Amino acid sequence: MLPILPSCVKELEPVSLGRVTDRDRAADRLPGVDAQPARRERTVAWVDPLPAAEKALTMSGLDYLRALQRGELPAAPIALTMGMTIEEVEEARVVFAAEPGEHHYNPIGTVHGGLLATLLDSVMACSVHTTLPAGTRYTTLELKVNYVRPVTLGTGRIVAEGRVLHRGSTVATAEGRATRAADGALLAHGTTTCLVMAGGGRA
């Protein structure tokens, strides 16, 4: 599992399905910066993810992801933190989307590669999850990402698709593509290997 939230994000009172708010704080100024830009603030609220994770073991992977897509189960904290949404779910295929924002930026003025890596990791792993029966766990063994184009605010909405290449009894492989929604331009692509554990075994 990925970390729930970075330590710099304050935990709030739980809400039904999670909440993200952004706002500028013109009164806050950064020390030592001549231009004195306004400080932005981003707040993320989430619910305890463990009950939903336990629920996952009682459902097939396909049913579980469809329940997440419909909002019947709370979004994962990582999805709220990164701004990912589930767009499509079918057996052996999943599509997520995300809108890059300033909070995704690295120190050199582009969106951190971790956004695309997280999108691809998520759609590829979840495509494997859709093939699993109830009571089966899985985890990522290997992740490889190839970056094709830089991402900025001007990139706009990103769509990531994951597809299963092979699903064996203990090992599954999948591939993924992240594209610019506006014109389908390829931003990054990747592959993953997942370990499948029948009977609810732990990673």
99-155 pLDDT, tens digit each? 999 999 999 999 999 999 999 999 999 999 999 999 999 999 999 999 999 999 999
Residue 39 is predicted with a pLDDT of: 87
CA distance 160 to 189: 9
Mean pLDDT throughout 53-60?
A: 95
Q: b/e per residue, 21-38, with b = 16+ CB within 10 A? A: eeeeeeeeeeeeeeeeee
**What domains, with CATH codes, occur in the chain?**
45-200 (3.10.129.10)
Q: Flag whether pLDDT at 27 surpasses 60.
A: no
Residues in CB range of 28: below 8 A, 6 or more apart: 38, 39, 41
Residue 37 is predicted with a pLDDT of: 74
The pTM for the full model equals 0.82
Higher pLDDT, 17 or 175: 175
145-181 pLDDT, tens digit each? 999 999 999 999 999 999 999 999 999 999 999 999 9
